[in-house]
Structure 1
Amino acid sequence: MDLGLKDKRVLVTGGNSGLGAAIARAFAAEGARVAINYLVNPKQSDALVEEFTATGGEALQLMADISDPQAVERMFSEIDDAWGGIDVLVNNAGIDGVHALGWEADADVWGRVVDINLKGTFLCAREALKRMVAQRSGVVLNTTSVHEVIAWAGYSAYTASKAGVSMMSKSLAQEAAPYGVRILCIAPGAIRTPINQAVWQDPEGYRDLLTKIPLGRIGEPEDVAKIAIMLASDAASYITATTIFVDGGMTDYPSFAHGG
């Protein structure tokens, strides 16, 4: 199925590893022009750009701290200079922070999680929407998490930021819909990426994790990437202002499968 993404101008934040890299690859495979935002590990960005251009694609690598308004503005200006604008933004960059109970948390560490996950998502969405509203087309995909609805002890900043992104996205979608712009969230569950490697590489932790997933397997980055390209395409042209959970059923409360 041709998703009609050829030559679309796509920015993936945090696009040089994990979910971001898988999403960037999926768009590149569809013929899109892909800009990879990163803050650390530039060699990973270099490798992806080389991979995409080696097969005839177009790619950019853009270093920027997405929590810095000026850095975000410069990043979008670079995309304007190279491609004349943007068609799809995938707000993927994020951190989970340091485990700490609420009364033990360091305020600055807590705030840094919110600055990146929520404020950074907003800053990138703001710049993308300036362009998309003017051209009366575009898609913004914001990565949240099952923890936009499932509590996670020790990670109140992460859960607050992801729940905040979900409601912010609904509000932005309401604002942008009259201009033909769609805004959605993708909420991954347990995905095999470096951010949760300590869990899925530990046999006991992995067994416990699987009890939380009705489908009985951990997700792969490609599971999320496939949904991203579909939602960015006209195949999803009547979908906006909602969250698509890619979680193997984790939000279906599997502990209740055998009664309350």
Structure 2
Amino acid sequence: ITSNGGKCITIQADVSDEHAVVQMFERIDRELGQVSVLVNNAGILHKQCRLEEMTADRINAILTNNVTSYFLCSREAVKRMSTRHGGNGGVIVNVSSGASRSGSPNEYIDYAASKGAIDTLTKGLSLEVAAEGIRVNCVRPGLIYTDMHSDGG
């Protein structure tokens, strides 16, 4: 990016942690300026299992990482992009999953439910901020062979 004349920074942050998200966006403000695009692409899953084997800790970890992070990052982006707050508008792209449609029975219904929440967040937020110059869309890729799926069994 920089060799082609662009400007970029690298930030490591736990996007499920509200304080970390606020700090990340404040650093972006300082070092890069106006935010115009946000791509929410957080997602974890745990070992394949059925619902009766899931613990509250597992379910909460999936929901916090896969849902809360999108809400927090979107909130901070909207504060900066919205014409209502003096911004120039922008775009938010949420990455969901084909699992939100299939439900991933006998494997990852917690993950599937978290991505279903992202589909709903996308719809609601798109209607909430459309008049403020922000377009919100979602992509829902199918199965992609990654380490994440290998780790899940």
TM-score, length-normalised on structure 2? 0.89
Number of the residue aligned with 2:42: 93
| d(CA) in 1 for partners of 2:141, 2:12 | 25
Question: Is residue 76 of structure 1 aligned with residue 25 of structure 2?
Answer: yes
| d(CA) in 2 for partners of 1:76, 1:86 | 9
Q: Is this contact kept in 2: 1:66–1:120, CA < 8 A? A: yes
Q: Is this contact kept in 1: 2:103–2:113, CA < 8 A? A: no
Consecutive unaligned residues of structure 1, counting only runs of 5 or more, are 1-51, 200-260
* Larger RCO (alpha carbons 8 Å, 6+ apart): 2
Aligned-residue offset at 1:101: 1.2
Q: Is this contact kept in 1: 2:74–2:92, CA < 8 A? A: yes
Superimposed CA distance per residue, residues 21-78 of structure 1 (whole angstroms, 9 cap, x where no aligned partner): xxxxxxxxxxxxxxxxxxxxxxxxxxxxxxx323433211111111110000000000
Q: Which contiguous aligned blocks of 4+ residues in structure 1 show a shift greater than 4 angstroms? A: none
Q: CA RMSD in A?
A: 1.7
- Choose the corresponding residue for 1:112, options 57, 61, 64: 61
Name which one, 1 or 2, has greater alpha-carbon Rg: 1
Number of the residue aligned with 2:128: 175
- Choose the corresponding residue for 1:139, options 81, 91, 110: 91
Superimposed CA distance per residue, residues 132-176 of structure 1 (whole angstroms, 9 cap, x where no aligned partner): 112141000000001111121231210110000110111111110
- Choose the corresponding residue for 1:187, options 135, 140, 144: 140
| d(CA) in 1 for partners of 2:2, 2:119 | 34
Aligned-residue offset at 1:105: 0.6
Question: 1:118-133 to 2 correspondence within 5 Å?
Answer: 118-133=67-82
TM-score, length-normalised on structure 1? 0.54
Aligned-residue offset at 1:182: 0.5
What amino acid sits opposite 2:120 in the alignment? M
| d(CA) in 1 for partners of 2:116, 2:125 | 14
Q: Is this contact kept in 2: 1:140–1:184, CA < 8 A? A: yes
